């Protein structure tokens, strides 16, 4: 008479390890995706606020002369820079104002553009 020993076989242990490994890979992938989405969301929020701030500065100016300018947002936002372009439109009574905010730490996709068409007052 053979006595069956209690415990798990090697195959059962390997199957349990495979299931555990698959579950851990899925959890780590979801965590990585969550961090990526949070970073993108933080960029879009910050870039929108910074672009609106720069646009307000431009709107407050007395005149809207055609020009292109570049700059940064100082030590509070060292990874962000801005580009301003004021151009004519097909309608002479309007100017096109474009503010582009760039995050230098993004490899791709770190760009936010805000466009405003403003009457010249003529």
Q: For domain 10-119, give the CATH superfamily.
A: GSPII I/J protein-like (3.30.1300.30)
The stretch 71-87 carries a mean pLDDT of 94
Report pLDDT digits (tens) over 6-49.
778 899 999 999 999 999 999 999 999 999 889 889 999 999 99
Rg over CA atoms, the chain? 28
Task: Give this prediction's pTM.
Answer: 0.73
Q: How far is the C-alpha of 61 from the C-alpha of 67, rounded, in Å?
A: 13
Residue 1: pLDDT band (50, 70, 90) is low
Hunting for tokens 């405003």 — which residue is that?
116
Mean pLDDT comparison of 30-39, 54-63, 78-87, 112-121, highest-scoring range: 78-87
Whether the pLDDT of residue 57 is over 70: the answer is yes
Whether the pLDDT of residue 84 is over 70: the answer is yes
Q: Is 100 in contact with 115 (CB distance < 8 Å)? A: no
Q: Is 53 in contact with 71 (CB distance < 8 Å)? A: no
Residue 95: pLDDT band (50, 70, 90) is very high
Per the structure block, which two tokens stand in for 5? 């020993």
Domain ranges of the chain: 10-119
Residue 109: pLDDT band (50, 70, 90) is confident
């Amino acid at each position: 008479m053979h006595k069956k020993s209690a415990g798990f076989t090697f195959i059962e242990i390997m199957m349990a390890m495979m299931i555990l490994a698959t579950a851990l890979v899925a959890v780590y992938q979801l965590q990585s995706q969550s961090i990526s989405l949070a970073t993108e969301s933080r960029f879009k929020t910050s870039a929108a606020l910074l672009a609106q701030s720069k646009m307000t500065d431009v709107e407050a100016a007395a005149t809207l002369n055609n020009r292109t300018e570049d700059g940064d947002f100082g030590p509070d936002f060292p990874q962000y820079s801005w580009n301003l372009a004021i151009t004519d439109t097909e309608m002479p009574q309007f100017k096109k104002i474009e503010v582009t905010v760039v995050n230098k730490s993004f490899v791709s996709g770190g760009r936010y553009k805000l466009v405003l068409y403003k009457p010249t007052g003529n």
